[in-house]
Structure 1
């Protein structure tokens, strides 16, 4: 795993598939997503490198329920005592009480999905301490607002830091080779509507679930390609 500092208080944790983000908050650290099962060892090592003890991880915010974003949550909770927050509609999947709804794949997405899915281990069930709704505020010591952005999954959320001009988009937006609507959606048109909502934000920095973050002029870039 590679750790890349993006701002004074945000680091990207890049895995073989996808990425997560460590955010310094008022009383420690939060994670936005946490990679696949098994990523917990690298995440804890990365936090240690930032001067954090395991108990300094206060919260894990899951942008959605897919294995490559929520897989290590249960192990991290056991190791750190962190709380878990996720979109209300995805919470039952993360808890393991209902199966993950399959994506509706376009023809060109299917071979990509099959090759990626085979490399990601299943997600152990994990408790969800807080079910997030649109407009919720996170207790980070700075303005941190939740946007419900369904379409990739029913409960997908983004996190907007308005004062810092940052948005964490989850997989609704991707920046793999080009800036684009994310793939493997349960409802592509709904995901496109959510993309357009994100693009309306006044942000300079956009952090994606897959692909390089945009560190300058993110809002303009998103609006230029909004579906």
Structure 2
């Protein structure tokens, strides 16, 4: 996979399902989400392209527990020794101490989900490994060790403990799966445990002053992303 530079300190590593992001810190790197199981070698190779070593990874931030986001976290922790950070309400599912809640599908979502799952089965994809969470994140928390302030936003709906990361100084937003893109538009991410809550979280993110949105699914919004979010109509997506 070819790295896409989004800002001087942020890169997207695109995967067929569930992009990962690499962020340069003053003393190393952070990873935001980790792709499906088996993605660790590609992420470490991308890190090497940037001049980083596995031991330079300080943090692995998981926006939520789904397998295309936490899928390679355990392998990356083993390779890097990094700390894992995740939303407090999703940590039982990431750790494997509680059963994962199921999405409530609309008809179009169910068809897409079955297609994705069939692709994973055909590829022989392994199941995601559970991983310890070192730091449980809550709404309003900030992250240590970054080059600029980072606000943690609790944005439930996609999962109970979904989080977004907002960098107000540079106007960069990592929305997790609350926001996806398609054909230059921002859309509601599918497969939500609570659709109405997810729409409310989308609207909260759309109210922020942002220039760039680093989505896990679709193309990043690289210019005037706030206007794109405000123009979206998440209530009409996936129905």
| Match in the other structure for 1:129 | 134
Moved over 4 A (4+): none
Q: Distance in 1 between matches of 2:41 and 2:13?
A: 12
Gaps in structure 1 of 5+ consecutive residues: none
Q: Distance in 2 between matches of 1:6 and 1:141?
A: 16
Q: Does 1:53 align with 2:44?
A: no
Alignment of structure 1 residues 1-227 onto 2, 5 Å = 1-118=1-118, 119=120, 121-139=126-144, 140-177=146-183, 178-227=185-234
CA deviations on 1:9-34 (whole Å, 9 max, x unpaired) are 00001112120110011211001111
Q: Distance in 2 between matches of 1:197 and 1:184?
A: 19
- How far does residue 141 in structure 1 lie from its aligned partner after superposition? 3.4
CA deviations on 1:166-186 (whole Å, 9 max, x unpaired) are 000111011034421110000
Report the TM-score, using the length of structure 2 for normalisation: 0.92
Matched residue pairs, number? 227
Q: Distance in 2 between matches of 1:226 and 1:31?
A: 30
Contact kept? 1:29, 1:57, Cα under 8 Å? yes
> SS of the counterpart of 2:175?
strand
Q: Distance in 2 between matches of 1:132 and 1:57?
A: 19
- How far does residue 226 in structure 1 lie from its aligned partner after superposition? 4.4
Contact kept? 1:63, 1:87, Cα under 8 Å? yes
Q: Distance in 1 between matches of 2:127 and 2:154?
A: 25
Contact kept? 1:195, 1:226, Cα under 8 Å? no
Q: Distance in 2 between matches of 1:226 and 1:150?
A: 18
Q: Distance in 2 between matches of 1:121 and 1:191?
A: 28
